[in-house]
Structure 1
Amino acid sequence: MDEELLLARIIAGIEGGGGGDDESHYHELVADLKSLLETDDDEILDRFYVSLSSTASPFLRCFSAAMDSPVESGRLAISASEAYLSLLLSTNCPVFTFFSPVAFLSLLGSIRRYLKPRHREDSGAASQGNKKKRGRGGGSRKNARNPGREDGDETEEGGLDAKLVFRVLERLGSVLGFVHLDRFPDSLKSLVQTVSEIPLLALEHSGVLNYDRLMEMCGRILGGVLSSDHGDVPLTAAEISKSLTPLLLMGKHQARSFALRFVSRKIMGLAKDNSELKKVVCNLPKFLVHKAPEKAEPRGFAVEAILEIVKAMEVEDQSEFVDFVMKMGQGKSNLRILAVDLIPLLMSSLGNPFGSISSEDGVEDSWGLGCLNALVQRCSDSSALIRARALSNLAQVVGFLSGDKRSRSILKQALGFTGGETSEGKGRITDLLKKRCVDEKAATRRAALLLVTKLTSLLGGCFDVSILKTMGTSCSDPLISIRKAAISALSEAFRICTDEVVTTEWLHSVPRMVMDNETSIQEECENVFHELVLERISRAGNSLSQGSASLPDNWSSSSKDLDRDIEALFPEGVLVLLRELCNSEVSPWVKKICVSLGKKKQLKPRVALALQSIIKESESLWLNRSMPINKWTAPAGLGFFFQRCQFSSKVCRMGVSSPSLAVARQK
């Protein structure tokens, strides 16, 4: 069409005062303006600017109405926005004549509406229309199967044109290079909110839009307004942070990654040279704390986002936030649960929780010790949920701190396991565990048993007798999960410590679980019996077969001293173990387990060979004292257990030439 005619049509359309409810008028106006701006004739464009200057207000009203139009799922509005931005970017355009805050707000609104989810009815109608246009061709199916196309070469079935979206955003970023919004704070705020909202709005169209490119363009626009040309930078940063909060708190997604990356890199990078901006960044994690959801999974996402931002802070700012977290532990329930969730992550992610190695005073004043104390306090919280979380998170802290020698020492001291108390497993936390292991809430009991398991490793298996008794009682808890946790905790203690008290409690509590109604508990009972009883006996027998045992030079012929000396020759408290196996309260369950393992062919010959070695060694030591063989007896329980192994597995039925074996069987 002739440029002169285009110019006349545009001026006439504007002077006509708009098309009212006739949307076709706006379509024609937008199309004519785009065609005119595409011309290379500078003279025509200059004449257009001069002609339009006298009707700038009607022009802006007309285009604002077009950009506010909801017709065709926002297609007219977004096209009008593209034309308006193209006008501002055209050569020699009097920008300040044609820029209007009202029109700018309409432009931003058109972007939001265009990206909003489509209604089913609209989508269905559009889909039917597209199918009619395509006929029998397979182009739509081909595109649907290729959601990763570079820029969305075709429109989505709902009508979204990806190329149009990218053109509008690209032009918007270019316009902001010379249109400064410091005089239009409302426009700046709306811009920040709109661009921050785009990643969420675009989720529905991720199959059409190139999401990475979209995030890049949004980041470029938000980064561009972090300039003094657009107003006070700290205030702008605060508005951006506030607007990005929904993205920061959402689940794992590219939009969340974009928001975290923008805050921790872009804003944090600018904050290094701007103290006011630094305050904004340091307040963001605190702001997120108050915005965090109460439900477990969304709260977990909030905690992760907070941690990522804190990790990007400088050390002194991190320390300030840690102090804030410890104060949260004394606040309302929603703040206390967040503090409990944050503490283990802070201690594992931030450096030197217990201060410098060279500074002894640093330990007492360290932030890590304060966090540890705050976590222990929450283990007695009035809320059962917080008690359970605090106990399980304390177990997590004990787990990762136990790997370092210095941290392990400080941890023992902080929990009260110092000096002689450590060997007995008594400490500040012992009374706490006694209460929590019998807590009215199952989650708390389960978490307490998990903590006991971790502390068992820390203390080398030595624990307060009352705690051991409590673990034994928990093996009969009505809840399956508690019984499993108790078996695990007690087995960990027995795995590490061969003390007689631990051995006795384990044998009186765990083997009986072979009769549990839950199959998985029966299997677990058999597995730990195989590991902690059979394998331990096998190792003891192997150690005897590798070399002849000998008594100390100052041995005594008295009965008690003889028993003690013989017991010292066998590793891992095997004789105590064998003695307790034949206890009347334990032996029925041992028989049951041995029968079950025998049927599964898990009773190996080496167990019987180990028992034979122990019998022979005991007999040999007796004879070395020149004592009559007819008065010798095998260690208590050995004959009983040997018979169990024999009767439960064919592979263990073997002849033993030593006459002592017959004696052992009779005992």
Structure 2
Amino acid sequence: MYSQTPTRHPKSKLPNAHWKAGNCYRKQQRNLGPPNGRRGEVSTSPTSFAAVAVAVSMDDEDGGALSHVLSELEACALGNHNDSAAPLSEAALSQLTHQKSGKRKKKRAGGANAFQGHCDGVSSENGKTSVEDLLLQVLRLLESVLGRVRLDVISDGVKSLVEAVAGILNNPGVQHHRLSSFCFRIFYCVASGTQHGDPTLSGVEVLRSLAPAMFLPLKSPTRVSTLKFVSSQFVPIARDSDAIRKAMVYFPRFLAVKAPEKSEPRASAVDAIVEIVRTMEPDDQVAFTEFVNKLTQGKPQHRLLAVDLILSLMTTLSNPLGADGVDNLGVANHHTRWGVKCLQMLVERCSDVMAGIRARALTNLAHTIEFLSEDVKSHTFLQNLIASRYGSFTGLLRKRCLDEKAAVRKAALLLIMKSISTIRQPIDEIILKTMGRACSDPMVSIRKVAVSALSEAYRKFKDSRVITEWLLSVPRLIMDNETSVQEECENLFLELVFDWISSVGNGSLSTNGSDHESVFPKGMPVLLKGTCDTEVVPCVKKICASLGKKKKLKHTIASSLQNIITTSESIWINNSMPIEKWTAPPGAWFLLSEVSSFVPKAIDWKFLQHHWELLDQANSTDTSWSINSVDPISVAWAGDRVSLLQTISNVSLELPSEPAAELAHNLLTRVQEFNMHFPE
């Protein structure tokens, strides 16, 4: 049979010249006999697959070479029907390689027209098929002959075929929605078939050819389809075959080593690696995390990639800290979990010699802690872990907050903000002062992060140190040149000061305590007193004015301040203290005077009248006083009286007519007699 010349298939539409060229080559091969002494089996050569690859990547408009390759493949496919076959000819490769050398100056009239506009995949006016259609036929024929071709007897047979199909898949000049599916079907046949040699080597060749597609943009159709093929079709093969599993296990490592340095391709590589690792067996996942830990000790580009991989692995794989179902294990056993090792590697990279890696490690560590803290068991584990290493952890934060690079300082502040919830001990004094200074950093981004970090510490601890530092650092940003910083300052003051006061004042306050600290929540007296500090007062006034104009001040704020003042008075009376020595919590009258101008209807006239009369009764004036003998209580009393007068002035238009007239007469009399306390 192999001595007969194959006849042209009646349905073939290929040019006669190409069919004759194939026959001439077959006549020269008649005396070679069947390859390997087997009848009915098609043999092929690496050059044939290389010819397909060259045809796919051609830049000219001549499709004759591709048609010639198609004729050769058709002959191989038809050989199964006439029980004869011949190897693909070298004429295809020769014709393809010579068309770019410029030797053929003149093209046939129909050749150029047949493939004009091949990039858009439309047929020519003469009815001849386009390049996309020819490629589809090539892929169909390749798929049909793969079951009868033994690629293992050919040198680099699998590699040549895979490279040719990969050239079709990754060629940006030819787009067709069906091309990729046929390419993946061929890859699947090569990887799943055992007749093509070592399955591990076949799997390696297929996965290696798919690697460049993993570095394309995240939304690239080629990348999406390739990643879907690997995770949904190739991984199941690996689960059923140990030979393919070896190739699959090392594929993410290959991608990690070959990942580009640029940020976007690196992000695509990280996403693809984690998506593939997610489908692996748990043992293989742990083995890959160990590889990533070793990668943190490599070249700079590998260390940067490893830092990103650790974040993605910690937030994608389940139970990274081993916190589920291991309550009976000790702390030492917990430290053997792969997630803890990854955290340790991240902490080490926070002190990397390269500033970019230091900043990225700090940022990723912050996001990792934030993610793990959402789980109750992991949050508890993190608290214990940080508590056991609190000294070294705070030492790291101190160094990085004072780093010479602004990006590192910003990342360190972000880490402080995200880790506040896991810190049980009081916050370090140096770190606290550093956050306060960072609120005045020249860089806007650092100021914003510092404000957020300090405010998070305020929410968590609410001790005198943190509240005082917050009041001295954050309200002053109302004077900032950046509008967004001013708005953030207003919102934080509204939340952390006024909202807290509203929640306290509107609640049930006991009057059985001995002092303010025993009745009001921890930190409330410190907060009220801090608002009337000489450095803070101008900022508080401006914040209140801005919030008032935006109508963000609620009536509950004024009601709560009145309740706090009344409760303080009741505590004083219940402890049988002289009323002339009583003063309201420092700052309460000052805040009420600033808020009252925007919520005058929330101020109770009976409340104002009572305290005006109370202060008037306590006005035991001593004309022999000097400025050096003023009692601090008298100074506070005078300040409260000034704020009381300011409050009355703000709500004067809302007062009843008769009380307003009486109060006006009283004030006029005082002015005429000038009988006011010296400190006023």
Q: Give the TM interval when normalised to the shorter protein.
A: 0.7 to 0.9
Q: Between Structure 1 and Structure 2, how many residues are aligned?
A: 575
Q: Distance in 1 between matches of 2:519 and 2:165?
A: 76
How far did 1:296 drift? 1.7
How far did 1:264 drift? 3.1
Secondary structure of 1:602's counterpart equals coil
The equivalences for 1:22-61 within 5 A come to 27-30=15-18, 54-56=27-29
Q: Of 298, 304, 310, which residue of structure 1 is paired with 2:271? A: 304
Q: Which amino acid in structure 2 is aligned with residue 378 of structure 1?
A: R
Q: Of 191, 197, 205, which residue of structure 1 is paired with 2:167? A: 197
TM-score, scaled to structure 2: 0.76
Q: Do 1:101 and 1:187's aligned partners in 2 also have CA atoms closer than 8 Å?
A: no
Match of 1:293 in 2: 260
Match of 2:244 in 1: 277
Q: Do 1:53 and 1:97's aligned partners in 2 also have CA atoms closer than 8 Å?
A: no
- Does residue 347 (structure 1) correspond to residue 311 (structure 2)? The answer is no
How far did 1:161 drift? 4.0
- CA 1:156/1:166 → structure 2, altered by over 3 Å: closer, same or farther? farther
How far did 1:295 drift? 1.6
How far did 1:32 drift? 7.5
Match of 1:534 in 2: 498
Does 181-190 or 590-599 show the bigger shift?
Answer: 181-190
How far did 1:582 drift? 0.5
Match of 1:646 in 2: 596
How far did 1:242 drift? 1.3
Secondary structure of 1:230's counterpart equals coil
Q: Which amino acid in structure 1 is aligned with residue 482 of structure 2?
A: E
How far did 1:516 drift? 0.7
Match of 2:335 in 1: 364
Q: Do 2:320 and 2:338's aligned partners in 1 also have CA atoms closer than 8 Å?
A: yes
Match of 2:144 in 1: 174
Q: Do 1:108 and 1:191's aligned partners in 2 also have CA atoms closer than 8 Å?
A: no
Q: Distance in 1 between matches of 2:563 and 2:403?
A: 47
Match of 1:551 in 2: 512
Q: Distance in 1 between matches of 2:115 and 2:271?
A: 44
Q: Do 1:378 and 1:390's aligned partners in 2 also have CA atoms closer than 8 Å?
A: yes
C-alpha deviations, 1:210-262, integer Å up to 9, x for none?
Answer: x2x22221111111122221122111111111111101222222222233233
Q: Do 1:105 and 1:190's aligned partners in 2 also have CA atoms closer than 8 Å?
A: no
Taking every aligned residue pair, what percent have the same amino acid on both sides?
42
Q: Do 1:604 and 1:651's aligned partners in 2 also have CA atoms closer than 8 Å?
A: no
Q: Which amino acid in structure 1 is aligned with residue 376 of structure 2?
A: K
Q: Which amino acid in structure 1 is aligned with residue 183 of structure 2?
A: C
How far did 1:626 drift? 3.0
Match of 1:242 in 2: 208
Q: Do 2:512 and 2:574's aligned partners in 1 also have CA atoms closer than 8 Å?
A: no
Q: Distance in 2 between matches of 1:269 and 1:8?
A: 41
Q: Distance in 2 between matches of 1:155 and 1:649?
A: 79
Q: Do 2:72 and 2:88's aligned partners in 1 also have CA atoms closer than 8 Å?
A: no
Q: Which amino acid in structure 1 is aligned with residue 228 of structure 2?
A: R
Q: Distance in 2 between matches of 1:255 and 1:107?
A: 30
Q: Distance in 2 between matches of 1:509 and 1:497?
A: 17
Q: Do 2:439 and 2:447's aligned partners in 1 also have CA atoms closer than 8 Å?
A: yes
How far did 1:271 drift? 2.7
Q: Of 564, 579, 582, which residue of structure 2 is paired with 1:632? A: 582
Q: Distance in 1 between matches of 2:125 and 2:404?
A: 56
- CA 1:568/1:458 → structure 2, altered by over 3 Å: closer, same or farther? same
Q: Do 1:456 and 1:462's aligned partners in 2 also have CA atoms closer than 8 Å?
A: no
Secondary structure of 1:477's counterpart equals coil
Q: Which amino acid in structure 2 is aligned with residue 316 of structure 1?
A: D
C-alpha deviations, 1:109-135, integer Å up to 9, x for none?
Answer: 99x99xxxxxxxxxxx979988xxxxx
Q: Do 1:503 and 1:577's aligned partners in 2 also have CA atoms closer than 8 Å?
A: yes
Match of 1:120 in 2: none
Q: Distance in 1 between matches of 2:6 and 2:276?
A: 56
TM-score, scaled to structure 1: 0.78
Q: Distance in 2 between matches of 1:627 and 1:413?
A: 48
Bigger radius of gyration among the two: 2
- Does residue 99 (structure 1) correspond to residue 90 (structure 2)? The answer is no
Match of 1:593 in 2: 543
How far did 1:409 drift? 2.4
Match of 1:449 in 2: 413
- CA 1:643/1:461 → structure 2, altered by over 3 Å: closer, same or farther? farther
- Does residue 400 (structure 1) correspond to residue 371 (structure 2)? The answer is yes
Q: Which amino acid in structure 2 is aligned with residue 77 of structure 1?
A: A
How far did 1:632 drift? 1.4
Secondary structure of 1:507's counterpart equals helix
How far did 1:655 drift? 3.0
Q: Distance in 2 between matches of 1:442 and 1:57?
A: 76
How far did 1:166 drift? 1.4
Q: Distance in 2 between matches of 1:243 and 1:460?
A: 51
C-alpha deviations, 1:350-409, integer Å up to 9, x for none?
Answer: 232223523515412111111111111111111111111111111111111112232122
How far did 1:84 drift? 2.0
- Please, what is the CA RMSD of the aligned residues? 3.7
The equivalences for 1:169-568 within 5 A come to 169-201=139-171, 203-206=172-175, 209=176, 211=177, 213-226=178-191, 227-252=193-218, 253-355=220-322, 357-358=325-326, 359-361=328-330, 362-415=333-386, 417-418=387-388, 426-459=390-423, 462-544=426-508, 549-551=510-512, 562-563=514-515, 566-568=516-518
Q: Do 2:215 and 2:259's aligned partners in 1 also have CA atoms closer than 8 Å?
A: yes
Q: Do 2:259 and 2:266's aligned partners in 1 also have CA atoms closer than 8 Å?
A: yes
Q: Distance in 1 between matches of 2:286 and 2:462?
A: 43
Structure 2: stretches of 5+ with no match in the other structure: 9-13, 33-43, 101-111, 616-639, 644-680
Q: Do 2:490 and 2:543's aligned partners in 1 also have CA atoms closer than 8 Å?
A: yes
Q: Distance in 2 between matches of 1:629 and 1:501?
A: 32
How far did 1:81 drift? 2.2
Q: Distance in 1 between matches of 2:485 and 2:259?
A: 38
Q: Distance in 2 between matches of 1:342 and 1:320?
A: 14
- Normalized per residue, the structure richer in helix is 1
Secondary structure of 2:523's counterpart equals helix
How far did 1:303 drift? 1.1
- CA 1:321/1:52 → structure 2, altered by over 3 Å: closer, same or farther? closer
- CA 1:307/1:639 → structure 2, altered by over 3 Å: closer, same or farther? same
Q: Distance in 1 between matches of 2:136 and 2:149?
A: 20
Q: Distance in 1 between matches of 2:391 and 2:349?
A: 17
- CA 1:296/1:567 → structure 2, altered by over 3 Å: closer, same or farther? same
- CA 1:181/1:156 → structure 2, altered by over 3 Å: closer, same or farther? farther
Q: Do 1:270 and 1:277's aligned partners in 2 also have CA atoms closer than 8 Å?
A: yes
Q: Distance in 1 between matches of 2:187 and 2:466?
A: 63
- CA 1:577/1:370 → structure 2, altered by over 3 Å: closer, same or farther? same
C-alpha deviations, 1:150-202, integer Å up to 9, x for none?
Answer: xx67469999443332122111211222122111133321110121232221x
Q: Distance in 2 between matches of 1:360 and 1:518?
A: 52
Does 309-318 or 532-541 show the bigger shift?
Answer: 309-318
Does 224-233 or 384-393 show the bigger shift?
Answer: 224-233
Match of 1:19 in 2: none
Q: Distance in 2 between matches of 1:311 and 1:443?
A: 32
Q: Do 2:72 and 2:89's aligned partners in 1 also have CA atoms closer than 8 Å?
A: no
Secondary structure of 2:76's counterpart equals helix
How far did 1:66 drift? 10
Match of 1:163 in 2: 133
Q: Which amino acid in structure 2 is aligned with residue 486 of structure 1?
A: A
